[in-house]
A and B are shown apart, each in its own frame.
Chain A
């Protein structure tokens, strides 16, 4: 583990001289208490009195403290970078760099622990503080000699034991800072045993009047170790809090604020930049796979820019959106793109649109991602958060020394899996048997057999078309830092990925991320301004070649003629196929520019009362061109064909403004935090789809002006307005009992005028039972224990805009207008009562920490019930239309368990090993659906069964007498002519039953190895289980594509009496095949265990770097989707498609340089 030093070191350095530092290491926990007896910032000019007082205090402390330190007259600094460096070695480095001599007794160093530090130009004393942190040593400096002394083992002293007089009543005032001297605003200072307390102001200053002398002050701050301090009269206190080392105290971002796992009442999971950076992915969502309990992510295809499906705690909605709410730096971000040109299907579908908008966010710009799941965490997002929320926080600058980081990696990608397909011998045997069975002989278009194609050729088209190596290149550079009140971060990124297809196809993007933070000098006003801009150019092809690769007959001709030109294999003057390489000419070209910006301003009105405003603006522009040149068409058809091209223009612009107030206040022994705010949000979505036809050259296809005729195919213009008031009350009683209430009143333009406003609310509580006296007095192996419960309502407003309006638009196929004028036609029945779907979430959680939080267990049980489903509700046609979109009291329940376990298994002498494990067991059930049998969903769902289940015929195998598939009808009788719908008796749930991940991190000296296994238990209905009409052939030149089959179809029926899983080969179309592929015979186990990610890195030894003035160099190898263990018969158990490229196995080599 690399400890990054707190910022503002450089800023401290210049104040070093003349400062007296007193160190009193807290032995048990290795903390350092530092009292700065310096001119406090909040006081006037230093007076003589103050100096004298300070000296008095110094003398007092010197007599009691274990060691003394005098500040060095010279500002010596140390630069150090190393992992698990023996202390002895550290001292020699200090000697080298400072010219000081370090005195120590070798015998005392037996108890020393190795040092892991990465610092640059750190003042000597600060460096020693860091190096000796947690060690049983103190130090003192005399002239140029550093004396290391062993500290006496003392009782855990929390503060200098001061002389306690009679219980006088005194006023206490002081200042709370972090270990770098930065003031800590909002820290809580309470008097132990008394219901009294205050918050520190913007300068970290507090004042407590009328406190009994000798009473104990408790000083605490989120993410820092709490300190206790005995009160005494006189001097202002300077209290320094140091960062907590427990993962329970790490900051967790939640809606409109932060918390920690220790005090959180909700179910929130965090993935940090370290884990994201280890993964060579182009979409940050893919970096979450297998890492977050309750979150299931699947990638649609292996082409860059692929669609990604995200489900948090299952599928809540039958017919509407199931995507979570994305919030980047407090600003909502689109969860889906606008459905684009039909041809861009190569990217796959997510949320009803091609591709995924998160592809346009640079993963390297992300500091952490929080996944919000339960009602407590999400109810404050109201109508938008029924499907959970994913909060993305981008990287910010930190005060202190300027950091320059450069990461460069290069790598290669291959398709993870192929289908085992027949070779030519097997294929031709199948075809001939099919002709025999059908009593037919090859016809003029059976090119594979009739002499048109060379039947001695055998090609595995998967190798030819999908067997290529994708190139992966990624470079990131950032500069960050800050001084005084201002911090900054500037990052640049470049990313390029190619495909496994032949041809020069690539997706590349360049991005910039910046952040500026500034405090006013009185620290009352703070502003953070962040921006991300990414320009992406995705240059693919209109069609995924996977379908061709799988179905093309193995004896299909060579791609090229001897002269190098494309081979169209003409037979009797007619092309016998569409050469797969010709598809490369039909380019899909998408250029996307994405800007996200946010500004967060905070003003401290009064101590504890803050006014915050978050402003955001985002703009996504995507211009897509798909061209249809003549070169993609068989040569003999070109004279009668037209060139065409399609143009898609998408613009999604959105702004939001969210002012809110937070107020922290002590009530009794508890800390009350209240929040109230309002949201204004507008999203403008526009899309225009133009097509041009009749160009006179392939070269001008991207110029719409060159088209002979241009048609506007479709246009979308929608406006979404959203307004809400929200609030939260959080009461924390002594870190033992924590209560939280959230409420939101939402108004949305998506809903009918009669239902524009609605309330959402939640309540939660947590009981930290490990803080109860009966447990905390005897700290055993249980170091932390918390029980949580939450309940509340959230809404789903992903129903599209204008659903409530009766819209009139031009009907399809009316191209000339009527009497030359455009015409209008109503699109459906308006429903002014349209409303959101509602999800009631109930959760129970248990958080446990063992062995000083080295082992953390987190378990959640959830039960989410979604009702008010927005469905297409059947009406008689006499109402004008057969249906209306209406909220319907169908209820869906998602329930399950989420368990995660984090363990630091071993950490000593340069070796460390930690393990993370998570598992989610989920169940989906349709609880009720009034009048299901009469609805249009009668054949889709069944009450008591999952809505994620697909319905099929129940297959009874192959009829031994006829050789064709038979299935059971609704009464269970075997039939070869079932009724589609009513006879669907088999129900197969294709949603994962359970899933999770297991991650291990092993570090030794400068090496670190991290590997993550993802596991999923699921079934899939995979139509290729039965082949695709085995025995039939259709060339791509004939419009269809039938041919090769997976080898397992060889176990087919051959003669009466055979019992076989596959029906007879035949060249004729037969209904039995359709019935078979609509049956549960296609269902197979699609469970898999995947070595999702491996990251191996080596940190170069510090001494090598010093000469080059480098902070750190790390060499690394990253791998994604490396191994897949599955029984799944198809290509990839995650994407489960024969139409799209499987996700790629990517291996990259790279270097990280820190300057």
Chain B
């Protein structure tokens, strides 16, 4: 008798009856739940040894000290460095999202030629030929570094121009520089010596000057803010007095402060109530020394009247020549064989982009810095001759780089040795290094290395930086604050320049608090070219990816 269907059925039922007595159903249920924990698209944080490394944020000119929390070779978070002589333990939102910048979607790791990927060698050959045949210029969006001095040196040696753009934040200081025949880089704001800061539209309690310095003075009540602005900006909201002058009427407030007009006239012209104006004037004058700064963007005459408010107040100072020595790059040996020693020009000697005649440049190199920079493409384009090219050196295809003829990928945040020279507002010269905390991708090349390659320059970034550190060591001025132990030592305690370089590379900041300063007198320059190419100091082409929290997922907006 063979096996019938009923037999198979009985067999099957027997098996089915046994199933719940085996692990099969229970284990499968359990395991499918656990399987869902290990799907490939579930994000996995990195694993590895945890450590803390110190460095400097170079996303903006302030140069704040940072601690980077690391897991293995990855950066997983940024924190401030307390008691830092420049940043005073402060950091801005950019720093906290900076460790994600190397992975920004706009990142490029291959050169782009007219928007298409190209090999580095092709691009080098083409640009080198053009630079040799015509006039080249280097626009440095982060002046004051040793690398900046290297640009100046190579521009001088190879018939090129070294340029910097005007920025909104330094408008008032630039007027002082122009009016006193000094360099912008030698001037500073003596914020510690004033009691009130009268801001004409400058975002003084947002991202401005060295934020840590401003906040430290403001939160203690030592420095009060009077904000002149048509809009209730964040700074206006936080200021002790907000003077909501109608847009275009700021000049009358300047005149009122100068004593040229009375309260009644000022009230009528600006739309601010008389009692408010009177209160503000009393507030400013009663408190003691005050400083007026402009946020930029006003007509020349208005800027001059704002700058003029500081004439003779001693609030704007210049570092005396002797103390500027530490900021100058030392004599650097020529790399070419049998060469003499040559002196590197003072990094503070700038040529302003605004003063360059239109259509005079064949190849414009732009060192955009770490956030893709901010000068507008139109203003740059006018300086370039027809048929000339714009070469953007940036980690990202964004901003000007998205429109440039060539884009050369440079290292992103914390991927290469960088510098934090004296911030524009500082009175004491300072210098810090930002060591590389990450390895740059294979295609990235530093801006200076690339420009050297296409123009025949011979001073690589590290050599320039070491020379700068050497000059700091040789000048024997100032002290060094090391981040790991928060100790301060005089420079003279370091045994050698390489010793000092090593300290910088593991997180340190040099500052010369004893640098002598002199008050600067202001004389308005009656017929100077208006700065037509003005970039917001903290304008950027890209933002840290987490900025969606500010821009999109809440209504707080940017600082």
Is the pairing of A and B real?
Answer: no
